[in-house]
Amino acid sequence: MEATFSQFYKRTPEQRLAILAETLGLSEAEQQILKHRATQGDAPLLIENYLTTYQLPEGVAVNLRVNDHEYVVPMVTEEPSVIAAASNGAKQLAKAGGITATVHSRLLTGQVVLSDVKVYASIDDWIALHQNELLEVAKQAHPSIVKRGGGPKSIRTRDLGEGFVSIDLVVDVKAAMGANMMNTMLEAIAGVVQNKLHHTTLFSILSNAGDQSLTTATVSVPVSQLADQPDKAQQVGKRIAQASRIAQLDPMRAVTHNKGIMNGVDAVVVAMGNDWRAIESAAHAYAVTDGQYRGLSQWQLEDDQLTGTLTLPLPIGIVGGATKVLPLVAINQKMAKINSPEDLMKLIAAVGLAQNFAALKALVTNGIQQGHMKMQMRSLAMSVGATPSEVSVLTKQLSNTDDPNEAQARQLLGQIRNNKET
């Protein structure tokens, strides 16, 4: 096997496919699918050992109103009902006046970590005494960001215990996500620490914590808007607030609560060419800030208003990295009217709140399955080979079937086609 894959990275995509087909027994049909989805654009240069392009659907959420502006939001996701839920939630919240979103800060933190430190105070004192020098070294390591008004802002130390010390650098990365510039600055600081403090560094790397890039989205919904009858509307508002409270008390529920929020957040982050894994990590770390994993959003019922708040760490960028390599990103930014990282941060947080509202309302009223099952039936119809013109008919028939499965879907599709022929 090792000989087969020797110098694999130097092969063309076609050669790699031929090797895989022979080694792994890929059928001709399977090879054709991989070939059909391959591209000769920039994709082969983006990753190592490129083979083909794995495509995900992109749609748009509509009806979103943020800070008195209307938005169409590109979203990339494979999960049925996410975009529908985001649009539905956004429509209901727009009726209430829309979402207000605020960016608290937009800074990136990185770490130079030392090991085998005997006396923390000696490190802390030295860094405090030389902080201006270290900040200047960081500026010189990446002068272009300083010219654009950004650059290193502060430096501190933290005692991590067990002989480990973190030297934290905080940087204004302007419109970029900033990973590369941060790592360059950190390595420059590490060099000074090693030469002057005579202490070997363990590693230098940015942190994806995102606690210096926080955005809050809020909305206030009149209870009367939640149902046709006043008593029922009050009950729905109370149940949404209670469901939100459970996510603060129970980590098991909080995980699912937050997953629903991230359904919308991730879909926008991917559409905008950003690192959704970094955003996921930052969000879940923020959810456990006080030592217990909790829901990222909170909904509270006060008199005749249901108020929702969502704060997220969003270390994203609109330039650099994949944002300039993936052709769709620029188009998506234009559709969403994104002109700054702050614009994008507000939009992402607003989508997360709308997604959360739609999920909670469905959960405490009709149940989450009603919307999900409709989309699942459509996916089932597609999986058995229904054409676009057949999907809606087959989906309707499957919805009227108890516990539909693939065999039933194939049978019903056959009947639909037979009826067309007669």
Catalytic, out of 58, 79, 124, 250: 79
User: What DSSP line would sit under 152-210, residue for residue?
Assistant: EEEEEEEEEETTEEEEEEEEE-TTB--HHHHHHHHHHHHHHIIIII---EEEEEE----
SS3 at position 74: strand
Is 104 known to be catalytic?
Answer: no
Catalytic, out of 142, 172, 266, 275: 275
Contact call for residues 261 and 355 (beta carbons, < 8 A): yes
In this structure, is the dihedral angle defined by the CA atoms of residues 341, 345, 346 and 351, taken in order, positive or negative?
Answer: positive
Tokens of 126: 């030295």
User: What DSSP line would sit under 208-227, residue for residue?
Assistant: ---TTSEEEEEEEEEGGGG-
List Cα–Cα distances, 119 to 161, 162, 189, in angstroms.
11, 11, 20
Tokens of 195: 């030469």
* Farthest CA pair distance, the chain: 89
Q: What is the DSSP letter of 101?
A: E
Is 147 known to be catalytic?
Answer: no
Determine the Cα–Cα distance for residues 393 and 250; give it in Å rounded to an integer. Answer: 42
Is 406 known to be catalytic?
Answer: no
Catalytic, out of 69, 104, 196, 259: 259
User: What DSSP line would sit under 247-307, residue for residue?
Assistant: HHH-HHHHHHHHHHHHHHHHHHHHHTT--HHHHHHHHHHHTTTTSS---SEEEEEETTEEE
Is 130 known to be catalytic?
Answer: no
Contact call for residues 172 and 107 (beta carbons, < 8 A): yes
Determine the Cα–Cα distance for residues 199 and 115; give it in Å rounded to an integer. Answer: 9
Could you give the residue numbers annotated as active site? Answer: 79, 259, 275, 372
